[in-house]
């Protein structure tokens, strides 16, 4: 009886298998000549490039945004150093998988005398105990450890692991590098998409590069989809209509991780731009965060903080404007609310700056911890009951409104045994100029009062 399924039982050829791979995987370079970007690390005169080409291995952490070539670089190192390439994904693996990979590396070293590179993608996803599992085998040279992460290793990786690996920062690909990636995809007949005869206009290239946002994988994925959507022309090329190309780019999203490094970097840039009186830069970072999907209410809360921390009494209106912007966002939502937040950010960035309140608060907090729970002086206590009055609560309290200029000169409001402190020191900007003058005048009244008390 004939095998009705014999046509499906034939072995898939290497060429057929390659065709099933995504374009980004097919175009993964096997030499530095085809590796795009990261010239700050891999230019011919750079130490890392020389070490790799010389076969000198050391454990490494590759830290950078998605699509910057972390996995590809690890594979290149294995090729140049003739090392076995073992890989784990921290998203899918556990300690059992780590042990299996180590056992495999030990067998390779014993049987073949070859070094193994253990590449761990998304290494920041491993917890402390999982990261600790690598340490003895990195220490004794069983494996050369290479981890890849999009998160700041300082926060996400154990110090013990960091001390055994060199951290290399990979950067987003610039326009020139992304252009090279496009050229390779269109012109590499064996691995790219040249068989589709895809043709791009200069404007389409520019838009693809802009949408890719420094991510080589993203631009290759877009090119692969473009080749499938392109229409053949009489000239034998395949082009994209304006509508098709617009649809291809409709899912554009800039890089923004709501809990990751990009998030904190960008809110830091916004805050520092406001503090630095740079309204245009502050507005740019605000829009970047909104465009990336940040909750506007989070930014509104941070803007209120900026109003107190960096402006304070130099312009008290800043706090009021920030609070009103928050209220507008809560009442109207998007996009109307964002305009009010933008207004507040521009005002804060343009306002007179003072961190006097912020510094005073921190110094008072330090003294609170240093001096402990000191008693409230009797003259500052209320006396609502007869017993409290008999205990001299409120005795000798001087009611400021009944004093000359509405000020009880020489009075001490700090606890007994604690020196009188000056936490708040107004700066010579904005309204604090006037506040400083007022406080200086009150101090002069204190001085006169104390001098008069000391006279016989």
pLDDT at residue 154 above 70?
yes
User: What percent of the chain stands above pLDDT 70?
Assistant: 91
60: phi then psi, degrees, rounded to nearest 5: -145, 160
DSSP alpha helix (H) spans, 294-335: 296-306, 317-332
In whole angstroms, give the CA distance from residue 70 to residue 87. 13
Q: Report the interhelical angle of 279-291 vs 296-306 (nearest 10°).
A: 150
Which residue range is the domain that position 387 belongs to?
Answer: 373-454
Same domain, 75 and 109: yes
Same domain, 200 and 276: no
In whole angstroms, give the CA distance from residue 220 to residue 279. 37
In whole angstroms, give the CA distance from residue 65 to residue 117. 22
- Tell me if 110 is assigned to some domain: yes
- Tell me if 32 is assigned to some domain: no
Q: For 201-260, write each residue's pLDDT tens digit.
A: 899 899 999 888 889 998 998 888 888 787 777 677 788 888 888 888 875 555 555 555
Decide: 87 and 119 in contact? Cβ < 8 Å. yes
Using the structure block, give the residue that is written with the tokens 């617009």: 246
Same domain, 215 and 134: no
pLDDT band at 93 (very low <50, low <70, confident <90, very high): confident
In whole angstroms, give the CA distance from residue 411 to residue 49. 71
Indicate the average pLDDT of the chain: 87
In whole angstroms, give the CA distance from residue 288 to residue 269. 11
Q: For 314-359, write each residue's pLDDT tens digit.
A: 999 999 999 999 999 999 988 889 999 999 999 999 999 999 999 9
Same domain, 45 and 164: yes
Give the list of residues 6+ apart from residue 365 with CB closer than 8 angstroms, or none: none
CATH number, domain at 190? Answer: 1.10.8.60
Question: Bigger pLDDT: 8 or 448?
Answer: 448
Same domain, 378 and 441: yes
In whole angstroms, give the CA distance from residue 383 to residue 228. 85
Q: What angle do CA 450, 455, 456 make, to 5 degrees?
A: 145
| DSSP structural state of residue 144 | E
Identify which of 154, 149, 107 has the alpha carbon closest to the alpha carbon of residue 126.
149
CATH number, domain at 275? Answer: 1.20.272.10
Decide: 37 and 174 in contact? Cβ < 8 Å. yes
Same domain, 165 and 185: no
The answer to whether the pTM exceeds 0.75 is no
Identify which of 371, 335, 353 has the alpha carbon closest to the alpha carbon of residue 427.
353
Domain limit, last residue, from 150, 169, 188: 169
Tokens of 382: 């209320």
- Tell me if 16 is assigned to some domain: no
Same domain, 63 and 135: yes
Tokens of 100: 């299996």
pLDDT value for 197: 76
Decide: 358 and 432 in contact? Cβ < 8 Å. no
Q: What is the mean pLDDT of residues 300-318?
A: 95
pLDDT at residue 19 above 70?
no
Q: What is the mean pLDDT of residues 156-160?
A: 89
Domain limit, last residue, from 122, 151, 169: 169
Distances from the Cα of 262 to the Cα of 156, 167, 192, 294, 372, angstroms: 14, 18, 32, 11, 40
Same domain, 90 and 162: yes
pLDDT value for 8: 47
Q: How far is CA 239 from the centre of its chain?
A: 38
Q: For 406-436, write each residue's pLDDT tens digit.
A: 999 989 999 988 999 999 999 999 999 999 9
In whole angstroms, give the CA distance from residue 239 to residue 232. 7
Question: Bigger pLDDT: 7 or 31?
Answer: 31
Sheet with strand 84-89: strands edge to edge = 84-89, 116-121, 144-149, 60-63, 166-169
Tokens of 357: 């309140």
First-to-final CA distance of the chain: 129
Give the list of residues 6+ apart from residue 96 with CB closer than 8 angstroms, or none: none
89: phi then psi, degrees, rounded to nearest 5: -110, 120
CATH number, domain at 142? Answer: 3.40.50.300
Tokens of 204: 């389409």
Same domain, 429 and 408: yes
- Tell me if 2 is assigned to some domain: no
pLDDT value for 365: 93
Same domain, 187 and 308: no
- Tell me if 58 is assigned to some domain: yes
pLDDT band at 194 (very low <50, low <70, confident <90, very high): low
- Tell me if 65 is assigned to some domain: yes
Same domain, 327 and 341: yes
Decide: 315 and 427 in contact? Cβ < 8 Å. no
Same domain, 57 and 164: yes
In whole angstroms, give the CA distance from residue 173 to residue 68. 6
Q: What angle do CA 278, 281, 286 make, to 5 degrees?
A: 120
pLDDT value for 1: 46
Q: Report the interhelical angle of 175-187 vs 216-229 (nearest 10°).
A: 40
pLDDT value for 241: 83
Least confident residue range of 62-66, 123-127, 241-245, 320-324: 241-245
- Tell me if 6 is assigned to some domain: no
Decide: 173 and 182 in contact? Cβ < 8 Å. no
Question: Bigger pLDDT: 131 or 234?
Answer: 131
């Amino acid at each position: 009886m004939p095998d009705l399924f014999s046509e499906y039982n034939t072995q898939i050829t290497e060429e057929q298998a390659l065709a099933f791979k995504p374009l980004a995987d097919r175009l993964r370079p096997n030499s530095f000549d085809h590796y795009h970007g990261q010239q700050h690390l891999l230019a011919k005169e750079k130490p890392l490039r020389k070490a790799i080409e010389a076969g000198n291995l050391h454990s490494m952490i590759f830290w950078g945004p998605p699509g910057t070539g972390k996995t590809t670089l690890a594979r290149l190192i294995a090729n140049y150093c003739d090392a076995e390439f073992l890989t784990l994904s921290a998203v899918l693996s556990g300690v059992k998988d780590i042990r299996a990979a180590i056992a495999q590396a030990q067998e390779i070293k014993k049987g073949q005398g070859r070094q193994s590179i253990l590449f761990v993608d998304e290494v920041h996803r491993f917890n402390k105990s999982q990261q600790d599992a690598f340490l003895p085998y990195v220490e004794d040279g069983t494996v050369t450890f290479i981890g890849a992460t999009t998160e700041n290793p300082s926060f996400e990786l154990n110090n013990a692991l960091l001390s055994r690996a060199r951290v290399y920062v990979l950067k987003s690909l610039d326009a020139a590098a992304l252009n090279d990636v496009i050229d390779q995809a269109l012109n590499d007949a064996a691995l790219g998409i040249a068989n589709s005869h895809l043709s791009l206009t200069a404007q389409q290239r520019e838009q693809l590069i802009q949408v890719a946002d420094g991510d080589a994988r993203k631009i290759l994925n877009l090119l692969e989809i473009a080749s499938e959507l392109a229409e053949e022309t009489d000239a034998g090329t395949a082009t994209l209509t304006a509508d098709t190309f617009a649809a291809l780019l409709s899912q554009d999203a800039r890089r923004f991780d709501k809990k990751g490094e990009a998030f904190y970097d960008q809110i830091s840039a916004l805050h520092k731009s406001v503090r630095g009186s740079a309204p245009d830069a502050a507005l740019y970072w605000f829009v970047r965060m909104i465009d990336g999907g940040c909750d506007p209410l989070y930014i509104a809360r941070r803007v209120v903080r900026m109003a107190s921390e960096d402006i304070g009494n130099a312009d008290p209106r800043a706090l009021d404007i920030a609070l009103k912007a928050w209220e507008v966002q809560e009442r109207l939502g998007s996009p109307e609310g964002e305009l009010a937040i933008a207004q507040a950010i521009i005002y804060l960035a343009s306002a007179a700056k003072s961190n006097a309140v912020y510094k005073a608060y921190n110094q008072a907090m330090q003294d609170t911890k240093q001096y402990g729970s000191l008693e409230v002086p009797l003259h500052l206590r209320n006396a609502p009951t007869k017993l409290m009055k008999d205990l001299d609560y409120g005795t000798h309290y001087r009611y400021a409104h009944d004093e000359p200029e509405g000020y009880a000169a020489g009075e001490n409001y700090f606890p007994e045994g604690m020196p009188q402190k000056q936490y708040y020191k107004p700066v010579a900007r904005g309204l604090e100029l006037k506040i400083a003058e007022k406080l200086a005048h009150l101090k002069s009244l204190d001085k006169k009062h104390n001098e008069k008390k000391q006279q016989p």
